Structure 1
Amino acid sequence: MTNTEKNSNPVIAVYGASGHTGGYALRELQRRGLTPILVGRNEARLRAAAAAAGLPDAEIRLADLDDPAALTAAFAEVDVVISTLPAYVTFGEPVLAAAIAAGAHYTDTSGEQLFLKRAFDEYGPRAEAAGVTVLGGITNSNLPGDLLGHLAARQVSAPAEIVMSLVTRGEGGGSRGSAETVLAGLDWFRAGGWHYEDGELRTGPIDRHTLMTFPSDAEPTAVAKFQQPPVLTIPRHTEVSFVAGVVEAEMLSQLSGFTPDVLDSLPEPGTDLRYELVLDASGADGTAVRGVLTGPDAYRDTAIMAVEAAARLAAGGLTPGALAPAEAFDPAEFLNSLAVHGITWRIDAAVRSGGQ
């Protein structure tokens, strides 16, 4: 059977399974009746992660990130690799390269523009040549941002202008892995990364969207440019003049004092990790709509989305190469499939932001 044929009993490998998001991915695979292969360097931690997810008989394969041959061998006869590492700009490429070399489809939970651009530019052609599909950046903000961007832009006059923000609604904090990710690309995060404007990716400040009135809020919130991977993916499938990610300005200001020392003091994420992904699309004729996705747990939902993407990759039929979510899946159908997990979405009339 080739990786482009339908597979009703997929073999899925997880690299990074002992992490916070990786554990959720294992539990979701177990819920679906799938027993994944756990790949990593620490057998004891991997066995503990498998047991905690109710998968005591899961196969363990050992491979270090600095051993390409071992990684490729670990992914042999695997249909899909799910990578749930932190800091993909530092650690992500070996797993991606090995998956392609082994002839496996690939998805991950990265949230870094710089890594996703490498996945498209450097690894997309390799994946196409190998006949496999790469879907990077499947997180609770990236995937819905891309899918909602596709849907919302088609309800306004083209080319659309899009701005999006992930809004924290719960009291729980971020994971150690998230902190490692920020630290690995700290200067990029502080500077806001790329936005898309008039046909190209640009760095530097943006001159609009300095305020957003979020759902249920009476007053607008000051926001600042923030690196968001859908800035790279939405223009691949949608006619747009501008795409940017923003975040609450107060939250971004906290990165000014962010140092490696913070890792040692980070507790585990709390249980209240509710969030909203808010995306506003406006057209040149003044039409405007707002897409909102709401979920109960940022890390759990990221894992669920990654596993859903992996199951669809394993089913076959996707174009080889690196794809954006909306290039791979029907946007509304994929978003609707998440409702069983308490993840909901809608598109309605937009609230005009004060920074237009």
Structure 2
Amino acid sequence: MNERLSKAGGRRQVVAVYGAAGHTGRFVIRELSRRGFTAIAIGRNAANLAAADFPAGVRREVAALDDPASVARALTGADAVVNCAGPFLDTAEPLVSAALRAGIHYFDVTAEQASAQGIFERYSAAAEEAGVTVIPAMGFYGGLGDLLATAAIGDWTRADEARIGIALDSWKPTEGTRVTGRRNTARRLMLSEGKLRPLADPAPNAVWPFAEPFGAQEMVELPFTEAILIGRHLQVSELHTYLNTAPLRDLRDTTTPPPVAADASGRSAQTFLVEVEVRQGSMVRRASARGRDIYAITGPLVVEAVERILNDARVQGGVFAPGALFDARNFLAALTPDVLS
């Protein structure tokens, strides 16, 4: 295993994970350890932290967001923090503030539009002044779609329309997903005429001709944080995101069980396919990614971003969409073929 060494002093790089004992947090901890980082597992519940099966060498810290001193102690020695604790409407701002005070980079994996938008609006100037990079929504919902759209647009300076189709073969939601759904009641936003506007009610339906094995799928327009990210750095007049309806039935069924590990890595058997098409006049470009387990894929996505920021001598301060900072094609290629194809 290669150790990740900081630019200053050659010490091993340290990344804190808030919400580390949660389902997604455990994937992030494993990915950090696999890549040679020292991980700090932070949580609100000491018993859950103690019971979590973390790799050897992971430091455990208990901290409550309403106790800034405990958060500051938990972040001691960290170079960056990854927030995996939803609802992010409640956790993102306290942790961004703590990261800025500590002078460390902040990442989260929110799918909540209001949370990501709030971080851009309220912390861009402070992060720039502090020289701290802040990247919200660096997960399956949000970051992946932003990177695919950025890769598809390529050298175009603008696009008339972008469409994102997300197909899941099922959705076994975590308890955190259910809690976030109950908390996140804000009306969803989409891009229209280059501006964020409320999604129509009822949301439009469509049929998307996915590649096999999904094929034609019944879809509903359901924008996530990719609308916030893309609207920040790409000149796109119209952006529409669709999710197939089958997994939404799983999500809405209160008897649907949580995800179950199907291999030694902890990934479930769930499969996904994301297809993006962008149009400029009569020209159309496409990009797509497929893989397994929307929770598990978030680990490599956010840790790849952390690694690139911590090893970039030209790191910028501010709040950014991933596609605004990274070479999107190169970033996605780095995850191929192990976690994406």
Computed over aligned residues only, the root mean square deviation of the Cα atoms, in angstroms, reads 2.6
* Alpha-carbon spacing, 1:219–1:37, altered in 2? closer, same or farther (3 Å): closer
Q: Structure 1: give runs of 5+ residues left out of the alignment.
A: 345-356
Report if aligned partners of 1:176, 1:266 keep a CA contact under 8 Å in 2: no
* Aligned partner of 2:292 among 287, 291, 296: 296
* Aligned partner of 2:242 among 238, 242, 246: 246
1:153-168 paired onto structure 2 within 5 Å: 153-154=153-154, 158-168=158-168
Q: Distance in 1 between matches of 2:162 and 2:11?
A: 38
Report if aligned partners of 2:110, 2:141 keep a CA contact under 8 Å in 1: no
SS at 1:53's partner residue?
coil
Report if aligned partners of 2:171, 2:247 keep a CA contact under 8 Å in 1: no
Report if aligned partners of 2:297, 2:339 keep a CA contact under 8 Å in 1: no
Question: Could you list the per-position Cα deviations for residues 312-346 of structure 1 after superposition, in whole angstroms to 9, with x for gaps in the alignment?
Answer: 222232211001101111101100010152312xx
Residue 329 of structure 2 is matched in structure 1 by: 332
Q: Which amino acid aligns with 1:337?
A: A
* Alpha-carbon spacing, 1:18–1:217, altered in 2? closer, same or farther (3 Å): closer
* Alpha-carbon spacing, 1:266–1:249, altered in 2? closer, same or farther (3 Å): closer
Q: Distance in 1 between matches of 2:207 and 2:61?
A: 49
Residue 67 of structure 1 is matched in structure 2 by: 67
Residue 308 of structure 2 is matched in structure 1 by: 312
* Alpha-carbon spacing, 1:10–1:282, altered in 2? closer, same or farther (3 Å): same
Residue 283 of structure 1 is matched in structure 2 by: 280
Q: Distance in 1 between matches of 2:39 and 2:98?
A: 17
Question: Could you list the per-position Cα deviations for residues 252-283 of structure 1 after superposition, in whole angstroms to 9, with x for gaps in the alignment?
Answer: 5777x67xxx4xx5633032121111212122
* Structure 1 runs of 4+ with >6 Å offset: 3-8, 206-209
Residue 351 of structure 1 is matched in structure 2 by: none
* Alpha-carbon spacing, 1:203–1:78, altered in 2? closer, same or farther (3 Å): same
Q: Which has the higher contact order (CA 8 A, sep 6+)?
A: 1
Higher helix share: 1
Residue 21 of structure 1 is matched in structure 2 by: 24
Q: Does 1:150 align with 2:135?
A: no
Residue 180 of structure 1 is matched in structure 2 by: 179
SS at 1:39's partner residue?
strand
Residue 76 of structure 1 is matched in structure 2 by: 76
Query: How big is the shift at 1:62?
Result: 2.2
Question: Could you list the per-position Cα deviations for residues 110-150 of structure 1 after superposition, in whole angstroms to 9, with x for gaps in the alignment?
Answer: 11111000111112222112110001101123222111111
* Alpha-carbon spacing, 1:35–1:331, altered in 2? closer, same or farther (3 Å): same
Q: Distance in 1 between matches of 2:227 and 2:8?
A: 31
Residue 267 of structure 1 is matched in structure 2 by: 257
Q: TM-score, normalised by structure 2?
A: 0.87
Report if aligned partners of 2:109, 2:136 keep a CA contact under 8 Å in 1: yes
Report if aligned partners of 1:11, 1:78 keep a CA contact under 8 Å in 2: yes
